[in-house]
A and B are shown apart, each in its own frame.
Chain A
Amino acid sequence: MDALKKLFGGNTRQFGMIFALVALIILFQIMTGGLTLTPDNVINLFNGNSYILILAIGMVLVIIAGHIDLSVGSVAAAVGIVVAITMRDWNLPSWVGILFGLAIGAVIGAWQGFWVAYVGIPAFIVTLAGMLIFRGVNQYIGKSNTIPVPQDFQFIGAGFLPETGPVTGYNNLTLLIGLIGVAAVVYLELRNRRESKALGADVPELWVAVTKLVLIGGAILYATYLFATGRPGTSFPIAGIILGLLVLLYGFISSKTVTGRHIYAVGGNRHAAELSGVQSKKVNFLVMMNMAILSALAGMVFVARSTASGPFDGTGWELDAIAAVFIGGAAVTGGVGTVIGSIVGGLVMAVLNNGLQLLGVGADMTAIIKGLVLLAAVAFDVYNKIQGRPSILGLLIRGARGTGGPTINGGKGTPFQPDETTKTSEVVAKEA
């Protein structure tokens, strides 16, 4: 079991989530008698959840910075209706419509960011207000009607990679993307190893790297196979490409750039960040604004998929996105979380939803189960933190060994984690 941990690095929580996702997929695959991992179902699952995953990317940054955004569903709906009407009435081409939609998102984001960052009103309140305001805007502008969008606009939400090149029996572009993905993973892993070695840092054994690459590469290739062999006319969805690009972009920003560092710093300890020269107001403003832009994009992808914008688009999205982020390992008090974790969290919810649907479980039971899963995932983590244990995987390891081995935390100095489990006295001492 130690080997497993090595394989996925020290971040046990993230590994736990990936592990849970894989287990869930296998479980449903067995229970549904093989209906889960069919090309059509996978494409459907991906397409039907892409907008939530797009929101989760923005939401994790908001939550890392220590805020929350309840307005994303309403913002998405408001942008969707404005774009639909302007394209219809002003005959805008689709690409102009998309840019226009993103611009509206930016304006809404600037509005909310202004109140949060510069006036200092808690984001919970600002975006609760935004939730009401922009829902109203949607219904006022659309007169509570459903407005259809043109065929070419629908491409971003319902389109697929086209068939090109020689007839192989597979969708060629999908295959190409899959192969590029595998190559990129191999290249990055090798580069990482080389650089770590050059620095004299610990490098895991070669077999660890090889096994890791085989597992990840295999998963990518299998997914590629599924996407490339769907019904004629379907392949890897365009919404999936948009999502993929966003994951790469935001994953990069959050983990490698100065901006990303500053977001984590502000969420981890705003005072310390400010006294290190971070302009926390600017960071908060940008994070809120970015969320609204991604909401606008998610709204347009959804409108494109459902071919029309309606008065009740986006209801409850904020909760799905927030749930994805927390299942994906973010902390309520900020400073912790990853883009990729949130995507995994979102996929856990999506697979759960889809699997229960395939099993014929009603919407009522599905909602109950989803709620319990969210609670259990976070409760488990909080519990483990209190006990100083290393999370789900730690328990598995312990179970396998049959004894309580050494753990990561514990000992004299239990790490100070400023979240729900922080002692009140520590907070009081801060105020004093």
Chain B
Amino acid sequence: MAPNEAVILEMRSITKEFPGVKALSDVNLKVKAGEIHAICGENGAGKSTLMKVLSGVYPFGTYFGDIVYQNEIQQFRDIRASEHAGIVIIHQELALIPELSIMENIFLGNEPVRRGVIDWKEARKRSLELLARVGLREDPDTPIKEIGVGKQQLVEIAKALSKSVKLLILDEPTAALNEHDSQHLLDLILGLKGRGITSIIISHKLNEIEQIADSITIIRDGKSIETLDVKGDGVDEDRIIKGMVGRTLESRFPDHTPTIGEVLFEVKNWTVQHPNVPDRLVCKGSSFFVRKGEIVGFAGLMGAGRTELARSLFGRSYGKFVSGRTFMHGKEVHMHTVGQAIDAGLGYVTEDRKTLGLNLLDDIKTTTVSAALKKVTRGLVVDRNREYQVAEEYRKSLRTKSPSVDEGVAKLSGGNQQKVVLAKWMFTEPELLILDEPTRGIDVGAKYEIYGIIQRLATQGKGVIVISSELPELLGLSDRIYTIFEGAITGVLAKEEATQENLMKLMTQARKSAA
């Protein structure tokens, strides 16, 4: 490093131990002033722990090592202390209050006060400035719950700016955003860099990191492995992955030769209303089919209605049914409840594991059998032995990493949680399995395994629908891809003809024709 480049932050041999576990051992991180520094690593590698040490969530004295920030050793006692020094962290799970307005959220805990009373005039003036800086055109009085996740992320950044931030830490900022919003956010971070704000970004989306980061520090198993200079070292995604997993991944997808049979499941003219807004349709006359052994992708921007389509098909668990027919093996099936949908041979792996897919208080074995309890009961009584055996079989065949099936699902990593959810639906022996964002928040190695499981299901003759926001994933996995825009299916492409470009075109098609 050239000596004239100032270092804003240096974390020296940080070691953080939890009782019985060493989460970080001897981690070093050096961030230059005014750069965008990415931290990469698999889930559980210790990225978030490192950031918690930096921001004072784990106060001085609970870790070993030094934090040198602006040439001084810092001893942050709490988040307030680190924020005072200009270090602001934006967590993966947004810390905004849905019922409060944008303005109230920006100044929460930091309200402009005049003579002991909140100066709303001043707050309004400043929030308008801040919103302009982050490029968000919304009335500051709009409640947070009425704006989308993408805009909420911008409010978080505005909030950070209001605290005169010098070092901004973003933990998975684009995880919940669609491509358009992600791009806007990345541009904003680049803009902040232009204004001299240093950023640390944690992300699983390697293409984004490649795009904006100046340097990358890779953490693996609680140790800092290497720091790469993006421009100088010619870093690409494969190089980052190699550092993260400690080996080269031959291919991002396992080999798979599809054996596609006759039509298994067909939907005709599926129309569904929004649950609360009666004149808004979330599915507009959608028709599609899935064949035996086929992996069918559903591409669409966030909010296009992919999840809504899947959930309304799955026992009408979303929205208000208007019209449409569903066929299994050419015979019409009526699925009015989730129970009926399961009986008809459908399985649905939800997009949000923590809030929709899992009871985090449960252990692996109870979760595994929870959607097909009937198969392990005698009369009304659950056969614990059978339950244990079933869960153990799936734990072995899916290679779920856990000491036993008595382990609580809350303790598992994202990838292993997803395997448990997959086991739960595989045990219902569905003919058609719908997977909604099956690899979100899962690290590279586990993704590969999940893809393998999906392909094995298809090989067994099941139909699989994969909904994903990551186009490379859809392109690598699917035999055929439908595109959805604003609740309507806008096209279908076979594997051979699909590219990111023509998919994106179809995913935004209606907007263009309307304009």
Q: In the complex, how many angstroms separate the beta carbon of A11 from the nearest chain B beta carbon? A: 12
How many pairs, one residue from A and one from B, have CB atoms within 8 Å of each other in the complex?
147
Q: Does A425 lie within 8 Å of B359, measured CB to CB?
A: no
A431 contacts which of B98, B317, B362, B374 (Cβ < 8 Å)?
B98
Query: What are the residues of chain A within 8 A of B412 when measuring CB–CB?
Result: 413
User: Is A265 interfacial (CB 8 A cutoff)?
Assistant: yes
Q: In the complex, how many angstroms separate the beta carbon of B159 from the nearest chain A beta carbon? A: 13
Query: What are the residues of chain B within 8 A of A258 when measuring CB–CB?
Result: 373-374, 377, 380-382
- Give 1 or 0 for each of A263-285: 1 = CB within 8 Å of chain B CB: 01100110111111111000000
Q: Does A265 lie within 8 Å of B359, measured CB to CB?
A: yes
- Give 1 or 0 for each of B339-354: 1 = CB within 8 Å of chain A CB: 1011000001010001
User: Is A429 interfacial (CB 8 A cutoff)?
Assistant: yes
A413 contacts which of B44, B337, B342, B388 (Cβ < 8 Å)?
B44
- Give 1 or 0 for each of B378-406: 1 = CB within 8 Å of chain A CB: 00111011001100000000000000100
Binds B, one of A26-34, A154-162, A403-411: A403-411
User: Is A143 interfacial (CB 8 A cutoff)?
Assistant: no
B360 contacts which of A388, A407, A417, A428 (Cβ < 8 Å)?
A417
CA–CA, A271 to B359, complex, Å? 9
Q: A407-B20, A425-B94, A431-B98 are in contact. Are A413 and B410 (CB under 8 A)?
A: yes
Q: Does B360 lie within 8 Å of A429, measured CB to CB?
A: no
Q: In the complex, how many angstroms separate the beta carbon of B164 from the nearest chain A beta carbon? A: 22
Closest B residue, CB atoms, query A426: B93
- Give 1 or 0 for each of B76-108: 1 = CB within 8 Å of chain A CB: 000000000000000111111110000000000
Total interface residues on A, CB under 8 Å, equals 47
Q: Does B360 lie within 8 Å of A277, measured CB to CB?
A: no
Closest A residue, CB atoms, query B349: A275
Q: A268-B360, A413-B410 are in contact. Are A406 and B385 (CB under 8 A)?
A: no
Q: Does B94 lie within 8 Å of A429, measured CB to CB?
A: yes
- Give 1 or 0 for each of A376-418: 1 = CB within 8 Å of chain B CB: 0000000000001000000000000000111100111101111
User: Is B256 interfacial (CB 8 A cutoff)?
Assistant: no
User: Is A231 interfacial (CB 8 A cutoff)?
Assistant: no
Q: In the complex, how many angstroms separate the beta carbon of A386 from the nearest chain B beta carbon? A: 13
Q: Does B98 lie within 8 Å of A428, measured CB to CB?
A: yes
Query: What are the residues of chain A within 8 A of B385 when measuring CB–CB?
Result: 195, 198-199
User: Is B109 interfacial (CB 8 A cutoff)?
Assistant: no
CA–CA, A11 to B412, complex, Å? 19
User: Is B46 interfacial (CB 8 A cutoff)?
Assistant: yes
Q: Does B382 lie within 8 Å of A269, measured CB to CB?
A: no
Q: Does A274 lie within 8 Å of B317, measured CB to CB?
A: yes
CA–CA, A425 to B172, complex, Å? 14
CA–CA, A405 to B20, complex, Å? 8
CA–CA, A42 to B176, complex, Å? 60
Q: Does A417 lie within 8 Å of B361, measured CB to CB?
A: yes
CA–CA, A423 to B96, complex, Å? 12
Query: What are the residues of chain A within 8 A of B354 when measuring CB–CB?
Result: 416, 430
Q: Does A432 lie within 8 Å of B44, measured CB to CB?
A: no
Closest B residue, CB atoms, query A411: B21
Q: In the complex, how many angstroms separate the beta carbon of B359 from the nearest chain A beta carbon? A: 4
Q: In the complex, how many angstroms separate the beta carbon of B343 from the nearest chain A beta carbon? A: 9
Q: In the complex, how many angstroms separate the beta carbon of B356 from the nearest chain A beta carbon? A: 5
Q: In the complex, how many angstroms separate the beta carbon of B17 from the nearest chain A beta carbon? A: 9
Q: Does B19 lie within 8 Å of A406, measured CB to CB?
A: yes
Query: What are the residues of chain A within 8 A of B97 when measuring CB–CB?
Result: 424, 428
User: Is B355 interfacial (CB 8 A cutoff)?
Assistant: yes
Q: A274-B338, A275-B357, A415-B410 are in contact. Are A259 and B93 (CB under 8 A)?
A: no
User: Is A335 interfacial (CB 8 A cutoff)?
Assistant: yes
Query: Which residues of A are at the interface with B, using a C-beta cutoff of 8 A?
Result: 195, 198-199, 201-202, 256-259, 261, 264-265, 268-269, 271-279, 335-336, 388, 404-407, 410-413, 415-418, 423-426, 428-432
Chosen A-B contacts, 13 in total, with CB atoms closer than 8 Å, are: A256-B382, A272-B355, A273-B370, A275-B357, A277-B342, A279-B337, A335-B359, A407-B19, A410-B20, A415-B408, A418-B360, A425-B93, A432-B145
List 5 tightest A-B contacts by C-beta distance, closest first.
A429-B93, A268-B359, A411-B21, A406-B20, A415-B410
